[in-house]
Structure 1
Amino acid sequence: MAELLTTTRNATLQDMAALLERQQTRKVDMVVGPRTVHVEHGRLIVHGVEPMLTRSGVTSADGVYRPTGVADEGLSEKFGVPRQYLARMREHALDLYDANLNGWLHRAPADKRYLLRALRGDNGDEGIARAWLSDGYKRVDNLDALMATLDGVRRAGVQVDIDGCDLTDRRMYVRIVCEQVRALAPRLLHGYRSPFTGEAGADNPVVFAGFVITNSEVGHGAFTITPRLVVQVCRNGMTMNRDAMRSVHVGGRLEEGVVTWSAETQQRNLDLITAKTADAVAHFLKREYVEAKLHEIERDAGAPIRDPQKTIHVLGDQLAFSESQRTEILNHFIRGGDTTAGGVMHAVTSVAHTLTDADAAHDMETKAMRALTLAAAQR
């Protein structure tokens, strides 16, 4: 298989769209039964699936597919094999990996059905098994979600910028910022300086409106639009999880074989995403919304932190931060110079900037508001 890039971090919109378009040409969705799949040398061997008609002619979906970690998690869930045990077998004992999964496939009811989302290889080469899902999963592809979101923004007539795009084996993230919609946050930023540039928040207390869209093609979350405030002096992002708009990927049962999603079904998905985006723009990209959220944040942000190490240890336990993440949060807290609960929040969001794992970065940023609340409670 010609090497296919499947992930990216902090990409431009153009690069993200190009990557998604390349993936789109490789995608194949199959509803398979337990008798049409077996496992060999850690790979899924698919046989007996009806060929599909594509632009290039009749294409067989049968073949060899190597599972990603996400696909292994799906296999673990559907067959009740502990995830850590499956990962250990893949790394150290592929014969046991094969035997376990083949055993459970053999024992599964013959009429049981699963959705296998994959990327085809070239000319019979090995492909990629992206996800092993329920046959009731409703597809919302990343490229469709991205284009529909941009269409919703265009229809709303608001000038926005793309603040960065990430793609992982689990999710797509697109951060959108509107610098025309801004507010001042002198109380939140008066004691803070960027750990990246040293610029003082007191000199530039501007906060922009924005939101982040997330989507998963492989069962790891709904299509979501979450409001996000961006601090100009450091580009830290503060996501407002409670206000998020979601659309869950659950649909009717699919027939066995290669799934050909109807144009009508896809258009309904796109129309819904476009409408939700227009609603998000109308609500989230308003100065009144930004000011209201800043007021909520500032209620806790001024609480003094007298024992930073203890405070970060406590919130690290509560928010499941690793030891290395806690160390970095403490370092950024010290470098940021803001010895308040707001400074802890800034430290969490700035560390999220530095993580190369986009899923971990997004997860950390979404916990920043909870970190603020926990830090304020430590006084």
Structure 2
Amino acid sequence: MTGTRNASFEDLVRLLEHDQEAKIDMVAPASAITATAGTITLTGTEPVLTPSGVTHADGAYRPTGVADEGIAEKLRIPAAYLRRMRAEAVDLYDLNVNGWLERDPERRFLLRAMRGEPGVLRAWLSDGYRIIDHLDVLTAVFAGIRESGHGVRVRGADLTERRMIVRVESEHVAALAPELLRGYRSPFTGQSGDELPLVSAGFVITNSEVGAGRYAITPRLVVQVCGNGMTITKDVFGRVHVGARMDEGIIPFSPDTQDKNLALISAQTRDAVAMFLNHDYVTRKIADIEREAGRPVARPAETVEVVAKQLRFPDSVRDCVLTHFIRGGQTTAGGIMQAITATAQTLTDADAAHELEMQALPAMAIAAAA
């Protein structure tokens, strides 16, 4: 599957449409699955007629790291051990996977793959996993936005093996935050938050096709002077990928199921837009953040160390946060938050950047209490 970082909305749609044709989903019993030289082979599935023609599922599929995590979880093989076997002793990988599959031959799994020679196994999931694909999510979300009548722009989009992340910003809803941005200087442009103390309303859309999290719309405030994003996780709208058990075989396109998913997502988007892209909501959230943001940080290196240990930042991220804190010039708990969101913008790993930004407000609370 093609990945991208900070893509435009149009580029993201093109990537998803390109990948859509190669996708194949199938529910298979353990008896139809074998591991050979680290590759998963599927046999005995019936071909089905789909909108793109006759689809065959039998064949070899090379698991991604995400798929190996699913295999480890479903077969109760320690993930670190499975990774080591793949890297150092692939014969033991095959022996372990096949051995656990043979113990329960009737157990069924949902395999999400991309066709090819060999194909790519994207995910190994429960047969009760509810499929909500990225392209469907985008279609439904932007239908909901159009129905809301709000003007928005996509600030950037990421696509990884694990998830899709789309950052949306309002073109019209913003509020002054002079206390939050007092003394702050953008590490990217050098512009002062005192000169541009504006925060825009927005939200981030996330979805996983491979079991790495639910579909969700989470409010996100954007600092205009630098583009830092403050993600407010406690107000998230979302839907868990859990559904009814599916029959064995290739999973065909179902217009009825898709329409129901799209209708729900569109309705949730309208609700989210009404709540999040609202001046009163933005000013309330800024006031909530400012209650802790102004707490002084007397020992920056020690405070960053405490935050990094509690939130388990890698050393490289910890060091980058400290650098951005110094450059930002705001010696407060809010400055720690700004340093984390600025660091998130610089990371090339989109998953790591998203997860780091989600921790910015919890990190501010830790710094305020330190």
> What is the alpha-carbon distance in structure 2 between the residues aligned to residue 20 and residue 348 of structure 1?
30
**Would you say 1:46 and 2:61 are equivalent positions?**
no
Give the structure 2 partner of residue 60 of structure 1.
Answer: 56
Give the structure 2 partner of residue 321 of structure 1.
Answer: 313
3-state DSSP of counterpart to 1:264:
helix
Give the structure 2 partner of residue 215 of structure 1.
Answer: 207
**Would you say 1:240 and 2:235 are equivalent positions?**
no
Give the structure 1 partner of residue 69 of structure 2.
Answer: 73
TM-score (norm 1): 0.96
3-state DSSP of counterpart to 1:230:
strand
Deviation above 4 Å: which 4+ runs of structure 1?
Answer: none
Query: 1:220-369 counterparts in 2 under 5 A?
Result: 220-369=212-361
Kindly indicate whether the alpha-carbon contact (under 8 Å) linking 1:52 and 1:61 is maintained by their aligned counterparts in 2.
no
Listed one character per residue, the Cα deviations across residues 246-294 of structure 1 (whole Å, up to 9, x for unaligned) are 1111100000111124211111100000000000111100111100000
3-state DSSP of counterpart to 1:255:
coil
Listed one character per residue, the Cα deviations across residues 351-377 of structure 1 (whole Å, up to 9, x for unaligned) are 000011111100000000001101000
* 1:164 to partner: Cα distance: 0.3
> What is the alpha-carbon distance in structure 1 between the residues aligned to residue 191 and residue 52 of structure 2?
55
Listed one character per residue, the Cα deviations across residues 295-340 of structure 1 (whole Å, up to 9, x for unaligned) are 0000011100011111111111111111111100000000000000
3-state DSSP of counterpart to 2:132:
coil
Code of the residue aligned with 1:81 in structure 2: it is I
Kindly indicate whether the alpha-carbon contact (under 8 Å) linking 2:31 and 2:106 is maintained by their aligned counterparts in 1.
no
Give the structure 2 partner of residue 118 of structure 1.
Answer: 113
**Would you say 1:164 and 2:164 are equivalent positions?**
no
> What is the alpha-carbon distance in structure 1 between the residues aligned to residue 43 and residue 255 of structure 2?
27
3-state DSSP of counterpart to 2:327:
helix
Give the structure 2 partner of residue 14 of structure 1.
Answer: 10
Listed one character per residue, the Cα deviations across residues 31-59 of structure 1 (whole Å, up to 9, x for unaligned) are 01111111111111111011021334322
Code of the residue aligned with 1:371 in structure 2: it is A
Give the structure 1 partner of residue 85 of structure 2.
Answer: 89
Code of the residue aligned with 2:169 in structure 1: it is V
Equivalent of residue 30 in structure 2, options 34, 39, 44: 34
Give ranges in structure 2 of 5+ residues lacking alignment: none
Equivalent of residue 97 in structure 2, options 74, 97, 101: 101
Give the structure 2 partner of residue 205 of structure 1.
Answer: 197
> What is the alpha-carbon distance in structure 2 between the residues aligned to residue 371 and residue 34 of structure 1?
44
> What is the alpha-carbon distance in structure 2 between the residues aligned to residue 332 and residue 57 of structure 1?
53
TM-score (norm 2): 0.99
Code of the residue aligned with 1:372 in structure 2: it is M
Code of the residue aligned with 1:83 in structure 2: it is A
Code of the residue aligned with 1:139 in structure 2: it is I
Give ranges in structure 1 of 5+ residues lacking alignment: none
Deviates more, 1:280-289 or 1:96-105: 96-105
Code of the residue aligned with 1:159 in structure 2: it is G
> What is the alpha-carbon distance in structure 1 between the residues aligned to residue 273 and residue 345 of structure 2?
24
> What is the alpha-carbon distance in structure 2 between the residues aligned to residue 324 and residue 55 of structure 1?
48
Code of the residue aligned with 2:125 in structure 1: it is L
Kindly indicate whether the alpha-carbon contact (under 8 Å) linking 2:26 and 2:249 is maintained by their aligned counterparts in 1.
yes
What is the number of equivalent residue pairs in this alignment? 370
* 1:220 to partner: Cα distance: 1.1
3-state DSSP of counterpart to 2:30:
coil
> What is the alpha-carbon distance in structure 2 between the residues aligned to residue 341 and residue 57 of structure 1?
58
Code of the residue aligned with 1:76 in structure 2: it is A
> What is the alpha-carbon distance in structure 1 between the residues aligned to residue 228 and residue 261 of structure 2?
32
Give the structure 1 partner of residue 139 of structure 2.
Answer: 147
Code of the residue aligned with 2:84 in structure 1: it is R
Code of the residue aligned with 2:108 in structure 1: it is R
> What is the alpha-carbon distance in structure 2 between the residues aligned to residue 229 and residue 144 of structure 1?
25
Q: Note the aligned Cα RMSD (angstroms).
A: 0.8
Kindly indicate whether the alpha-carbon contact (under 8 Å) linking 2:169 and 2:200 is maintained by their aligned counterparts in 1.
yes
* 1:98 to partner: Cα distance: 1.1
Give the structure 1 partner of residue 174 of structure 2.
Answer: 182
> What is the alpha-carbon distance in structure 2 between the residues aligned to residue 227 and residue 164 of structure 1?
15
Deviates more, 1:356-365 or 1:99-108: 99-108
